[in-house]
Amino acid sequence: MLIVHALAEVYGCQAIIEDAAKLVEAAKTAAAAVGARTVGEFQVKYEPQGLTIAVFLAESHIIITTWPEYQLALIDVLMCNSEMDYNQVVRQIREQISPDGHLVMHTVPRNIAASP
């Protein structure tokens, strides 16, 4: 089974990327919209600025790491249910943090099997 690990850089982010609770909410809402189920969350605040928030799913995880000094957020989405639309998850989070900013997306196929 091939699943896709989606890694996005989102530029031109708004102040929401300094608000851990709102980022967690954005990730959970985006996950729910594709049918994923949140089973845990975690957040790290860096000094003097920057956050990592993680939302753990029954289907793996969403992580957002922010660099407010660059108005930059990295969004990582790994969902082991290939019917769930990772593009929709990234798009929906992006709408909350940088509706007009530039997005660079990397998609890495990961081979879930007993051998390569």
Q: Which residues bind a second copy (CB under 8 A)?
A: 5, 7, 9, 11-12, 39-40, 42, 44, 46, 52, 54, 56, 58, 60-61, 63, 65, 67, 70-72, 74, 76, 78, 80, 102, 104, 106, 108, 110-116
Q: Which is nearer to a second copy, 67 or 85 (CB)?
A: 67
Residue 50 CB, nearest distance to a second copy (Å)? 9
Distance of alpha carbon 75 from alpha carbon 99, whole angstroms: 14
Q: How many other CB atoms are there within 10 angstroms of residue 104's CB atom?
A: 10
Residue 35 CB, nearest distance to a second copy (Å)? 17
